[in-house]
Structure 1
Amino acid sequence: MTIGDHLNSLYRLPAYTFPGPDSSTDDLPEADEHAWRITSDVYDADEEWTQAFARFCEAVDTTRVRALIVGAWQDTYETGPDAIIEALVAARDRFPALRAVFVGDMVMEESEISWITQTDVTPLLEHYPALEELGVRGGQGLRFPALRHTGLRKLVMETGGLPAEVVRGVAASDLPALEHLDLWLGTPDYGGDSEVTDLEGIVSGARLPSLRHLALRNSEMQDAVAAALASAPVVARLEVLDLSMGVLTDEGASALLTGQPLTHLKQLDLHHHYISEPVLERLRSTLESAGVSLDLDRDDADEDQDDGGTVWRYVAVGE
């Protein structure tokens, strides 16, 4: 699976792409009714992202803007969004209503997910204390040193490989209002070098008292993640547990079944998996009867076997 579509919404607002430099801005929608997508081009851009942002600030009542989507920027395969972060920080007084930012909304034609160069995104949280949602796509160069933020409710990191340093930074952060955490852990081939021990601060839930939706997905170590969650304190307060898009097998699924009860969940998402039908039936009989909504679709999960008999299984999103 690859990223084929841009975000169609953010902060429960429909996405709207701010017109390019050759288009009119005379008939724009109301500032607070959309999530504004500001974008440039990865190759041969006629306008840099920061220039598009400057036009946006002149054309739109920024005091009413609630959500911003950062699209493509120039040479993203080797240049991070440092100038973009700086521009957003410098404009913070012009965006008193801003509650959501997503950095890196690019599809495969613009850049494969693991080719997107990122940077330290925590200045957005440091300078926007009222920010409630932060999303990032791309793990190359991504940094997230531990911090405290009392307003953040949703944090999403979509990667083909999430660096262990970032995982540890999130796990060590004090986020008392965070309700929704979604980490695409990825594979070592694309920089996803974390281990289950790096997740300890998340699975303990000690700094995440409001967490209700936990997604730890798209990883090769999905069985080990499932085993860690089988007895994790954070699970008891969750409504949604998402271990989808990775290499989850009977081992991990059985650990979930033999661990703490999951019947309190509203949803368990395991789609894109490598679980056998007998274990899938155990999941259905144990959880569906208790009212848990299950997503057990195998999707495009497939496996190969080489001449030596080694079986290869793949995450949903890699390169």
Structure 2
Amino acid sequence: MDNVVPGKARRMPVMADVAARAGVSHQTVSRVLNAPDLVRPTTRQRVEEAIEALGYRRNMSARALATSRSHLIGVVTPAVTLFGPSHTSLAIQEAALDFGYATISAATETARTSPTDVLDFFLTLGVDGIIVVAPTMQTAVEAQRLAGTLPVVAIATDMPEPGPLHVVAIDNEQGARDATAHLVGLGHERIAHIAGPDEWFDARARVVGWQAELAEAGLAVPEPVRGGWEGADGYAGAQQLLAQRELPTAVFAANDYMALGAMRAFHQAGLRIPEDIAVVGYDDVAGCEFYEPPLTTVRQPFEALGRHAIDTLFAALDGRRGDPEPNRPELVVRESCGAQRGAPVG
């Protein structure tokens, strides 16, 4: 076994070991690691085989000294386990790894930490930049505060870019418009919305999209039913709708968990989905294709969002502005919305 002396711990291989095994210079190994396209394919393959055989791992401390960068990115997330924030954080981590960066994550708005505490802590770690998953205004304000100190990217729907803060987002307003337009196209005229928490940017944008699409279609725009993000909130929201004098013919829920809760309430009331009432959710969480009936929903492009946030952060590190265009979600049509109303049967 390489680098092993009997009775002693194994020495971790260094770049010189890789160079000796591959029969190349130290500089060639560095180029393979940092700019592989500049190295001939046959040479690059020899170096990569040597790296694999030796189990070589880059020394991030040495790399930081050579490049004046730590290759660390701070990721600030809300202290929740909800589908959107958790998948966004994972997408950022995977995109950062593709560029040779590591991420350090910390949750905010807990009983022990505030956004201010977390962001200031990242400054002491010497991160190259920070990506803030900012679902609420409190976290977004703290991101703005730090943006003049080092590059900061906020993931926040419909938030303007004040000063040095960089913002990327998913177009939640458009996603809500697409869901509502699909129901309008099926012939529905009374379309209710069970909304998420009003302090969340995403929830507010989905309300705006739903309202705008109804108004554009010349339909009545009722007040949204205020909810949260949990199945119980959707169940309670559906109970409110069931108590109304005139039941809507379709419901657009601000996320899939609330859609599931609403569907249970409608089933218990003896309503058939989609024959008596159509239901559309948002997120496309794992398993919603197995709801009864399978749920029509809006799929969020988290992988693209994570890449967009990393690209924007790297642009900021280079003194540039990133692409401000929001990432568009995708309507996924399944059985819960039903066939076109009034269409001939058979």
Shorter-chain-normalised TM-score: which range? 0.3 to 0.5
**Structure with more of its chain in strand, by fraction:** 1
TM-score, normalised relative to structure 2: 0.31
- TM score, norm. by length of structure 1: 0.33
Structure with greater helix percent: 2
